[in-house]
Amino acid sequence: MPQLVVTLDCPDRPGIVHAITGAIVAVGGNITELQQFSSPDSGRFFTRIAVEGAEAEGLERAVREATDGFGARLRVDDAERPVRTLLLASKAGHALNDLLFRWQGGELPIDVARIMANHDVLSPMAAFYGVPFESHAVTPETKADFEAQVRRVVEEEGIELVVLARYMQILSPGLCEFLAWRAINIHHSFLPGFKGANPYRQAHTRGVKLIGATAHFVTSDLDEGPIIEQNVVRVDHTMSVSKLMRKGQAQESQTLAEAVRLFAEHRVLADDDRTVIFR
């Protein structure tokens, strides 16, 4: 019997947990992990439940019946089944190598179907890890084409997660919409934030003492999607702009990998424009 993960959200009301757990018990399931959250902001209820001893289809049917009329969004996932993942990359290899190495080492429950890039410099890295790689020049003229191919790969290969591992192109609003809540981006972050070009230079000029990274879902509002994970690292006045960038990149790699893990373990739910993270 597989280890299953039930994730569900619906408008909050008394008796939800009892109804769901009753359905789980009825199909012979044993709950090994249960987290829940009632959002005072949206009035919604969220839960993630790990279940042993039940069979997926029966469990899903039972929970669906028990929550009939609740207006619930429900998923039942096999925790052992890796999440089909497409990686988008450009020239910078730090975030990509970190993901691939962790994936190869069994740290990330994903199945990397393919890497698509707008440059070919990371091709040898893909070859080393044994992942299909394709590169396409992306120009204003060819961007629509490239995005059409991304859509096709997502559909044909059953992609559940798209990771922008320092893919430096802005996705079109249409593609953002198509990938809503299933595409993760990583970018640098600062206290305070900086608008405009070359933020590391601005951070240097301003003399910040911390720099960091934010992993978030992709939306058409650039770099403003729902936040999944953030980290910072300490910096000082002696560090050049390029040193700040290297420190920032290490944060990016680590933060992106953590966000991917959270997603692939079905620990990230959507509460309007915020995430609920069941660690």
Residue 31 binding a second copy, by CB under 8 A: yes
Given its phi and psi angles, is residue 28 left (phi above 0), alpha (psi -120 to 50 degrees) or beta? left
Instruction: Report the residue number, 138 or 228, with the smaller CB distance to a second copy.
Output: 228
Location of structure tokens 């079905």: 266
Residues 6+ apart with CB under 8 A from 128: none
Position among 40, 69, 140, 196 found at the interface with a second copy (CB under 8 A): 40
Using CB under 8 A as the binding criterion, the count of chain residues that bind a second copy stands at: 67
Position among 7, 85, 90, 214 found at the interface with a second copy (CB under 8 A): 214
DSSP structural state of residue 171: P
Chain residues 157-186 in contact with a second copy, contact rule CB under 8 A = none
Residue 149 binding a second copy, by CB under 8 A: no
Distance between CA atoms of residues 50 and 76, nearest Å: 10
Position among 35, 135, 202, 220 found at the interface with a second copy (CB under 8 A): 35
Distance between CA atoms of residues 77 and 7, nearest Å: 8
Query: How many residues make up the chain in this entry?
Result: 279
223 is catalytic: yes
Distance between CA atoms of residues 113 and 119, nearest Å: 18
Question: Could you tell me the smallest distance in angstroms from the CB atom of residue 74 to a second copy?
Answer: 18
DSSP structural state of residue 39: -
Binding mask 73-112 for a second copy (x = CB under 8 A): --------------------xx--xx--x---x-x-----
Q: Which amino acid is at 160?
A: E
CB 22 within 8 A of CB 66: yes
Strand partners, 125: none
Which listed residue (12, 223, 271, 273) is catalytic? 223
Phi, psi of 6 (to 5 degrees): -95, 125
Residue 128 binding a second copy, by CB under 8 A: yes
Instruction: Report the residue number, 146 or 190, with the smaller CB distance to a second copy.
Output: 190
Residue 69 binding a second copy, by CB under 8 A: no
Question: Which residues in this chain contact a second copy in the complex, by CB under 8 A?
Answer: 14-18, 21-22, 24-25, 28-41, 53, 93-94, 97-98, 101, 105, 107, 124, 128, 189-193, 204-210, 212, 214, 223, 226-232, 236-238, 240, 246, 271, 273-277, 279
For the annotated catalytic residues, the residue numbers are 223
